[in-house]
Amino acid sequence: MRNLGSNIKITVDNLTVNYNDDGPDDAPIIIFIHGFPFNKTTWNKQVAALKDNYRVIAYDVRGHGNSSAGNADFSIDLFAKDLLGLMDALKIEKVVLCGLSMGGYIALNAVEKYPERFDALILSDTTCTADTPEAKEKRLKAIESIKKDGVEKFADESIKNLFAPESFATKKEEIAAVREMIVNTSQQSLYKTLRAFYERKETCSKLTEIKVPVLIMVGKEDKITPPAAAQLMHEKINGSLLKIIVHAGHLSNIENSSEFNGHLKKFVASVYSKAEN
Ligand code: MLT
């Protein structure tokens, strides 16, 4: 019997991973990976939309939400290894993987290393490129500014870039919840994740090797990983679908969940109807 519901704890390679697991036992499985520095609750609307027909798992990435951080330096390789560790611990062979931004970096890394473990991929508001020298410089400045001015200021500065202008009027509660997630992330985890982004390798050159169906989504007003980044991945991934989400910035799954969920449901249904034929 599997554990069902929210905030389940499991030990994976000495790390405590906090996750939720909903939906029927024998249904196809979708795993959601959140962005930085948020937590699995950013996927609540997607979990609710899918859990009647699919087994849906969302987890807190190492150092985020209620998962522990461990002692190692963070890297996208390590985050991908954690994902595979979680799948192994839950005895899950294959899933559809959906990642937003940092979650997308992890998904792209995981599909490159363990392609046989994934039936399909959803890449949301993310990019295959490494940090440019300017972006690397900003990572270091962010670390310095958190040390100097604290995490509240970092949260306020981050919020300005995360959302489409109209969301500040229409999504006040959601924005407040995201701010809470940022300020509740430990400073050590913020530094270690920013370092991991700084060191992150590009995955663009590997995209032609992806053989599974891929849906790419991006908020029309995403300033962090803009539609051009999504377009680049779309051009490289054979047969991929690209959907631009209106009324949305970087957190398109929250800012326009109805459009996001519509594409998500249609895509996942198409993956499994094809598999059955
Ligand atoms: C995220 O949402 O995960 C971050 O914006 C990723 C990044 O800063 O590169």
> How far apart (Å, rounded) are the C-alpha atoms in residues 134 and 131?
8
Q: Which residue has the higher pLDDT, 191 or 275?
A: 191
% pLDDT > 90, the chain: 98
Mean confidence (pLDDT) of the chain: 97
Let me know how long the chain is: 277
Whether 276 shows a pLDDT value over 80: the answer reads no
The kind and range of the H/E element at 214 are: strand 214-219
Please give the pLDDT value at position 277. 47
> How far apart (Å, rounded) are the C-alpha atoms in residues 115 and 133?
30
Q: Is 55 exposed, middle or buried (0-12, 13-18, 19+ CB in 10 A)?
A: buried
**Owner of token pair 């489409």:** 164
Q: Is 102 in the pocket of ligand 1 (CB under 6 A)?
A: yes
Q: How many beta carbons lie within 10 A of that of residue 52, not counting itself? A: 11
> How far apart (Å, rounded) are the C-alpha atoms in residues 192 and 51?
33
pLDDT in tens, 194-233: 999 999 999 999 999 999 999 999 999 999 999 999 999 9
pLDDT in tens, 223-273: 999 999 999 999 999 999 999 999 999 999 999 999 999 999 999 999 998
Q: Is 101 in the pocket of ligand 1 (CB under 6 A)?
A: yes
> How far apart (Å, rounded) are the C-alpha atoms in residues 236 and 219?
20
The token pair that represents 33 in the structure block: 């990976």
* Angle of CA points 267, 269, 274, to nearest 5°: 100
Q: 36 C-alpha vs ligand 1 centroid, how far in Å?
A: 5
Please give the pLDDT value at position 259. 98
Q: 50 C-alpha vs ligand 1 centroid, how far in Å?
A: 25
Q: 126 C-alpha vs ligand 1 centroid, how far in Å?
A: 8
% pLDDT > 70, the chain: 99
Please give the pLDDT value at position 274. 62
Q: Is 197 in the pocket of ligand 1 (CB under 6 A)?
A: yes
Q: Is 43 in the pocket of ligand 1 (CB under 6 A)?
A: no
Q: Is 35 in the pocket of ligand 1 (CB under 6 A)?
A: yes
- Choose one of 61, 98, 100, 102 to mutate for the ligand 1 pocket test, by most ligand atoms within 8 angstroms of C-beta: 102
Atom of ligand 1 nearest to the CA of 200: 9
Enter the pTM of the model: 0.98
Q: Is 224 in the pocket of ligand 1 (CB under 6 A)?
A: yes
Interstrand relation of 5-12 and 15-22 (parallel, antiparallel or unpaired):
antiparallel
Q: 274 C-alpha vs ligand 1 centroid, how far in Å?
A: 33
Q: Is 163 in the pocket of ligand 1 (CB under 6 A)?
A: no
pLDDT in tens, 126-166: 999 999 999 999 999 999 999 999 999 999 999 999 999 99
pLDDT-based confidence at 1, cuts 50/70/90? Answer: confident
Burial 215-243 (b: 16+ CB within 10 A, else e): bbbbbbbbebbbbebbebbbebbeebbbb
Ligand 1: residue whose CA is nearest its atom 4: 36
Whether 73 shows a pLDDT value over 90: the answer reads yes
Q: 2 C-alpha vs ligand 1 centroid, how far in Å?
A: 32
pLDDT-based confidence at 275, cuts 50/70/90? Answer: low
**Mean pLDDT, residues 50-72 taken together:** 98
